Amino acid sequence: MTALHSLLVFLHILSISLWMAAALWVSGDVSRALALGRPHVDALAARVRPKFGLDAAAGVATVVTGLLLMWEMSITRPRLGITAGFVFALVRLGLLAGVRRAWRSIAARLERGETVEARDPAARRLSMLSGMAHGLWLLALAGMIFPI
């Protein structure tokens, strides 16, 4: 095991940890704040935007460090679990675009001073897509860890 391998494994696990934690509670935070109304929604954007930014950066870092690990270990044909995990991770990154679009819809209306209810279609879509993203993250992790 080389120092490069140890560094890549460390960075990969760090990226995964950040990716999992970055936006884990965002949909619940948004729903609760919307249900409580003003003044709770006033600080919502300041809490949510950085979490989505970290989520995207950590997701890209996870995929890049995973690819670098495969390159460093000369894996040309990864096992099925790693391939599935990689695909799930990419799909999860794609879902992030939908989550961010739903958030932008909510944030734009809040900035205009409109009231957005917790049961608003955009809030429900944000919650649904977040749940799907977390499920994909779990499947990606399982594919990487369990030898299938």
User: Tens digit of pLDDT per residue, the chain (148 long)?
Assistant: 789 999 999 999 999 999 989 988 999 999 999 999 999 999 999 999 999 999 999 999 999 999 999 998 888 888 898 999 899 999 999 999 999 999 999 999 999 999 999 999 999 999 999 999 999 989 988 988 888 7
- For the entire predicted model, the pTM comes to 0.87
- 14 closest CA partner among 84, 49, 66, 51: 66
Cβ–Cβ under 8 Å, residues 52 and 99: yes
Tokens standing for residue 139? 């499947």
- Which residue reads 């989520």 in tokens? 55
Residues 116, 40: contact at Cβ < 8 Å? no
pLDDT on residue 76: 81
Pair of tokens at residue 74: 């000369």
- Give me the helices (H) in the chain, please: 3-22, 26-36, 44-72, 80-111, 121-145
